[in-house]
Amino acid sequence: GDSVTQKQGQVTLSEDDFLFINCTYSTTTYPTLFWYVQYPGQGPQLLLKVTTANNKGISRGFEATYDKGTTSFHLQKASVQESDSAVYFCALPASSSFSKLVFGQGTSLSVVP
Amino acid sequence: VTLLEQNPRWRLVPRGQAVNLRCILKNSQYPWMSWYQQDLQKQLQWLFTLRSPGDKEVKSLPGADYLATRVTDTELRLQVANMSQGRTLYCTCSGTGGGGNTLYFGEGSRLIVV
């Protein structure tokens, strides 16, 4: 079945550090891929999404590239700020039902000043 | 702009007692409504998508039993029973059609078992 794997459960960085969050996926189709961000006390919200047509998504300084060869969709940001502290989820639509999103385990990012 | 209104925002649930959750859709542009659960380890899991008024589904997962109902075009309900561990339930909405649609989340209903 479809699956998404985020190996890093927790990441701690200092302000202005480079961010890299690993995400790999397994599916039988070439779906749109998503990154969602969840700030404390809130529901998740879309950070960016990428289709096979455009390959790379950029939003609020974050970027992710759709790599079908390595089945990866890693999230990067050149310089993090304390306000980026949140939980980040990689996700894809299930092959069996496009209305259902399959999420990775989430990566909790803490940025210290 | 808030697309979804969930209540209650949190609830203490005595072990063995059921609780009823409600979600109101504020924008008919995103008519597909769903429920997701988030466990204490932050894992998000799809529960149901109910597209039409009258749709009803049940599901049993480790730690809780669920009954979801699409009451009207704008109202979704969820009954949570036999809950053994706390969790947060999120109502979501999206447009119809393919898998490229953005999923919009409500603020969540946090359930704490006591």
Yes or no, beta carbons of A44 and B105 under 8 Å apart: yes
Top residue of A101, A102, A105 to mutate, by most chain B CBs within 10 Å, is: A101
Burial of A40 (0-12, 13-18, 19+ CB in 10 A): exposed
Yes or no, beta carbons of A32 and B103 under 8 Å apart: no
Judged by phi (left if over 0) then psi (alpha if -120 to 50, else beta), residue A16 lies in left
Phi, psi of A44 (to 5 degrees): -60, 150
pLDDT in tens, chain B (114 residues): 789 999 999 999 999 899 999 999 999 999 999 999 999 999 999 999 999 999 999 999 999 999 999 999 999 999 999 999 999 999 999 988 777 889 999 999 999 999
How many whole angstroms separate alpha carbon B25 and alpha carbon B72? 10
Amino acid at the residue B103? L
* Residue range A48-69, pLDDT digits in tens: 999 887 789 999 999 999 898 9
Largest interatomic CA distance in chain B: 41
How many whole angstroms separate alpha carbon B68 and alpha carbon A95? 23
Residue length of chain A: 113
